[in-house]
Structure 1
């Protein structure tokens, strides 16, 4: 048996990282979102918002990092690994801003096959922006639509996580995965 790779995705501010942190606290193996780290690394190099100033470079770094996470997950033989976003999210964001990307982005996504993909819908009641999250709630809804379209274009059946408390949402995910 191989690693059971589970993506938790959704637009910005939908509660993904909160759910990942709750799963970590329960002892589950989780690979956390890396886009904030890519952004912070760029700030150290004097670029305030790399995604806004050079979206292709940002996306290349993000794709490499997420591809590395995907490969690292194989170290957890016969276990379930949760990802805070998958490699496919990179394409969705590039489509959202209307930018083009090289074919190797698509090929990377074809090679990264996840067992399940959970998606969190935009939820205005919990949405907040901060220094790394610059999108408006309307933009978060548009990103959600691009995520849905991207994952579906790679033949994923997305599982909608219902609104609720962190416990209710993590329980939903764990019950669906049969853990």
Structure 2
């Protein structure tokens, strides 16, 4: 049995993690966003914002972590696994910040394909800043455009999740699979 890998993507503060938690409550296998882990590990080493100070190193760590998650999804033994952000997110953020990256970043994205990609649009009413999220709402809007463009460049047809209460968002996603 091939595991369906389903990505939830979107700019910061669009509700991805909340949807992942709701899917877990319903018994679905989910893999969480890893950028906060990378950020927190760097902060323990005295680097307040690794992405801002060393964007390529941060992105390499994210790319490797998400590649591991891609493989981990197959080992979970579930028919479908929901993943909070995919490999192309790394390139979208690098493009947003106009940062160069090696060609192998693109090659990894081409060789690791997801079955479905849901994109959550910017939603000002639910957007919140916190210790690891340094982007403004306006940044989130722009990042969302870069995410859409990047996934499209890899041949994905993204499905936009409507701005409705979380339970309705989850049902929308489950009905589209």
Q: TM-score, normalised by structure 1?
A: 0.97
Matched with 1:45 is: 45
Unaligned runs of 5+ in 1: none
Residue 73 of structure 2 aligns to a residue whose secondary structure is helix
Matched with 2:123 is: 123
Residue 58 of structure 2 aligns to a residue whose secondary structure is helix
Matched, 1:28 2:28: yes
1:158 Cα deviation from its structure 2 partner: 0.4
What does 1:16-165 align with in structure 2 at a 5 Å threshold?
Answer: 16-77=16-77, 79-165=79-165
RMSD: 0.7
Unaligned runs of 5+ in 2: none
Q: Give, in whole Å, the separation in 2 of the partners of 1:47 and 1:114.
A: 32
Residue 117 of structure 2 aligns to a residue whose secondary structure is strand
- Count of residue pairs the alignment pairs up: 177
Q: Give, in whole Å, the separation in 2 of the partners of 1:77 and 1:16.
A: 23
Residue 164 of structure 1 aligns to a residue whose secondary structure is coil
Q: Give, in whole Å, the separation in 1 of the partners of 2:98 and 2:110.
A: 21
1:76 Cα deviation from its structure 2 partner: 3.0
Q: Give, in whole Å, the separation in 2 of the partners of 1:78 and 1:45.
A: 36
Q: Which moved more, 1:15-24 or 1:78-87?
A: 78-87
Q: TM-score, normalised by structure 2?
A: 0.98
Residue 98 of structure 1 aligns to a residue whose secondary structure is coil
